[in-house]
Amino acid sequence: MRRDHTTSRLRILGLALLALFVLGALMAGMASAEEGVLPPSNFTIKGGKQTLGNLAEEEIACGEVTGSGKFLTEKETDQHATGTLDFSNCAFAGFSFNTLGDASGVVLTKVLYLVCLTEPKTLLFGLLILFLENPVHIEVPSLKELLLTKGYVIGTLVQAGELEGTAFLVSFNETDKAKGKCTINGTEFKSTYEEAFDTKADIDAFRKGEATVTFAEKLKFMDT
């Protein structure tokens, strides 16, 4: 993939690379990816209130989300980003919760990022975020409960087309009837996010909120 200092092409990740993310295949599997993912530019993420609901009509909420992504390599066949996605001011039913060992109200996670098409016909791009720790262990100290979340979520850029710039707003607006989805090499994938208290079965969970993704270099979202 040709690079310059002002514009970078963004291409869709191959099915083999998605399988790597979801199933934990060997790093060598990345070489079979037919297409790229993210432009070679590191990025940050920042957003306001984020909520997570489920089929049991339970809801947890965090006041703010921040994150960052960094490329593992600049090789064309290995272009994907690893980073963090952290939440603060988090509560469930009025009780603060946090990832195990972290400060009250704080959820810290390590993730993998990739970009895909959420609507190929209109060139509407999206961001798929896979949590590297599956499940993520979240404690609610006041209730003496352990909440487990796992899978990946998919957000959608609020504007369609071949966008160019450094900052892009991503919306997560899932419901039980409209999970986040994206298309990779003609195959559709839906958000697999689930949650459960430690002694209960997993149930579908749905994320809502917005966040701005800001890249260190100017880029252009393009389907090639």
Q: Which residues of the chain have pLDDT under 70?
A: 1-40, 71-80, 184-185, 224
In 10 A of CB 110, how many CB atoms?
13
**What CA–CA distance (Å, rounded) separates 99 from 108?**
6
**What CA–CA distance (Å, rounded) separates 156 from 106?**
25
Helix (H) or strand (E) holding 188: strand 187-190
**What CA–CA distance (Å, rounded) separates 193 from 145?**
20
| pLDDT score at 40 | 59
| pLDDT score at 14 | 31
Distances (CA, A) of 122 to 9, 119, 164: 18, 6, 16
What does DSSP say about strands 9-10 and 203-221: parallel, antiparallel, or unpaired? parallel
pTM of the model: 0.78
| pLDDT score at 91 | 92
| pLDDT score at 39 | 53
Every domain of the chain and the residues it spans: 9-221
In one-letter notation, the amino acid at residue 51 is T
> Token digits for 152?
């990946």
Angle at 188 between CA 182 and CA 191, to 5 degrees: 55
Alpha helices, DSSP H, located in 24-173: none
Instruction: Please classify residue 199 by burial: count the beta carbons closer than 10 Å to its beta carbon, then call 0-12 exposed, 13-18 middle and 19+ buried.
Output: exposed
Is residue 116 a contact partner of residue 125, using CB atoms and an 8 Å limit?
yes
Is residue 118 a contact partner of residue 137, using CB atoms and an 8 Å limit?
no
**What CA–CA distance (Å, rounded) separates 211 from 168?**
9
